[in-house]
Amino acid sequence: MKHETKACSRCNATFECKVGDIANCQCYGIELSVGEEAFIQSNYTDCLCRACLQQLKQRYTLFVAQKVLYANR
């Protein structure tokens, strides 16, 4: 199984990427919508740490909510 030490593309924190054992990877269980995934892929080219994935997921949700709020004014 392939494991690799990586630096987060966003915060530069190091983590172990377990692409060969995804069920035990640090990112396992974080479910991204199509929009969230597209947003992350358009801004980052490599893996992100779990903390950054969770922060970006939350920020994307807030962004969408604000967009809807302003559109309804």
Q: Mind listing the pLDDT tens digit for each residue in 40-68?
A: 999 999 999 999 999 999 998 888 888 77
Q: Greater confidence, 55 or 22? A: 55
For the chain, what is the domain count? 1
Query: What's the CA gap between 40 and 44, in Å, rounded?
Result: 6
Give pTM, 2 decimals.
0.80
Q: What are phi and psi of 29, to 5 degrees?
A: 95, -10
Give the range of the structural domain holding residue 20, as residue numbers without chain letter.
4-71
**The pLDDT of residue 60:** 87
**Which residues lie below 8 Å from residue 1, measured CB to CB, with a gap of 6+?**
18, 20, 21
Q: Reduced to 3 states, what is the DSSP secondary structure of residue 16?
A: strand
Q: Show the CA angle centred on residue 45, arms to residues 25 and 56, nearest 5°.
A: 65
**The pLDDT of residue 1:** 59
